Amino acid sequence: MRVSEKRVADNTNQNANAVVEHLRAWNSNAVEDVIEFRGETTIVVPHGLLRAVAKECRDALKFNLLSDATCVDRFPIEPRFELNYHLTSIPRKAKIRLRSRASGEHPFIDSLTPVWPGAGWLEREIFDLMGVKFHDHPDLRRILMPDDWVGHPLRRDYPVEGFRDIPATYLPGLKK
């Protein structure tokens, strides 16, 4: 019984199309790509335009709630960091995902804290665990890991066991 999105599809897609149309009319460069998967719409936004697009979504399109912000590490593909912002419009009953990419060499992007102060801790979490820097963030410190931690644990090239030596008892015969 493998059926995909029948109920969700119609309502969400109409909303998402309207959003994409609006953004294209507002700035012809604003939408780099539109990805549809399982009834969810992802709008890929150029690196430098993320904050402006987010502001337009909030003010003109009524996406008033920043539901979530997260980052995916596509290592070794470049640009490796994929930042996903999940916006919810309470009045329109719609959801949308904004995506922007950052390179592995200088991972940085404009912070969305001027648009939603609630982005503050979410971006601190991304900075802490992925090492992406956010421009204009008022308080960019580590949040979950200790302040003196070296490295960013959620990166794909960071081993699950960490970089510390594993005691020989746990891996008999494997330790050098």
Residues lying near other proteins in the complex (CB under 8 A): 1-5, 37-38, 40, 42, 64-68, 70-74, 84, 86, 88, 90, 93, 95, 97, 116-122, 125, 129, 142-146, 153-154, 156, 160
Rounded to whole angstroms, how far apart are CA atoms 27 and 49?
A: 10
| Sign of the alpha-carbon dihedral angle for 34, 97, 19, 48 | negative
Comparing CB distances to other proteins, the nearer of 48 and 59 is: 59
State the nearest-atom distance from the C-beta of 146 to other proteins, in Å: 7
State the nearest-atom distance from the C-beta of 65 to other proteins, in Å: 6
State the nearest-atom distance from the C-beta of 72 to other proteins, in Å: 4
Comparing CB distances to other proteins, the nearer of 29 and 139 is: 139
Comparing CB distances to other proteins, the nearer of 46 and 114 is: 114
Comparing CB distances to other proteins, the nearer of 18 and 48 is: 18
State the nearest-atom distance from the C-beta of 90 to other proteins, in Å: 5
